[in-house]
Amino acid sequence: MKSLREFTMARVGLGRAGNSIPLREMLAFQLAHARARDAVHFPLNPAEFGGFSPRSVMLHSAARNRAEYLRRPDLGRRLDEASKEQLHPLRGDFDAAFVIADGLSALAVHRNAPDLLRSVTARLPGWRLAPLTIVEQGRVAVGDEIGELLGASVVVVLIGERPGLSSPDSLGVYLTWNPKIGRTDAERNCISNIRPEGLSMGAAAELLLFLMSEARARRLSGVGLKAELPATALPSGS
């Protein structure tokens, strides 16, 4: 079991104390559970991303607060009226729009999104990029509405994933071609578990750049594009 634990963060080979696990392992489990719960309620600080782009826009979903966001996933998928009004005058002919949303772990966003965004945008010469949008109480599908309002060909949503007991700070990236309200998950491509202990920043950036290029060339995203990914485009490790 000791050798197995060298290859996974899963709770295997914990040992025994009578009919239970050792106290140390029980306390470690409770600490991990507390960190996961804290990550869900960790507040997004939009001001930290305000200086990231000369054209960044702070938005809010239709979920008024965190409690409503957790109870009503549908509200997190749409913008509130004030946010829609902010985007109308910004509409243009954009190749891509990047969206930062807190999701279920703003902690993951703060720790991982800025570096990934810098790495990717620096390697998109010739791409017409929409203003960066930062969404409080946002879910993945909120990017569809944002991309549609901005007139972007593709939208890329960087969002905090549901915290796990070993990964409270895991970032996910979702790419959708021709974003518009009503797109399904089958029409997106996902890059998951971006964090130091998971998929590395470099590997995530390479894969995202490949997907963006292919989406624009083939004018599609989702299961059709994923099925055609060559093995050489996939990261070999973290």
Domains of the chain with bracketed CATH: 52-231 (3.40.50.11240)
94 three-class SS = strand
pLDDT (0 to 100) of residue 54: 61
Smallest CA-to-CA distance from 106 within 41, 59, 155, 166 is with 41
In Å, what is the CA distance from 62 to each residue of 68, 69, 76, 137, 187? Answer: 9, 9, 6, 8, 23
The per-residue pLDDT string of the chain (238 residues; one tens digit each, 9 = 90 and over) reads 556 666 666 766 677 777 787 878 788 778 878 888 888 888 898 888 766 666 899 999 999 999 999 999 999 999 999 999 999 999 999 999 999 999 999 999 999 999 999 999 999 999 999 999 999 999 999 999 999 999 999 999 999 999 887 788 999 999 999 999 999 999 999 999 999 889 999 999 999 999 999 999 999 999 988 755 565 555 554 4
pLDDT (0 to 100) of residue 238: 45
Measured between its terminal Cα atoms, the distance across the chain in Å is 23
pLDDT (0 to 100) of residue 40: 86
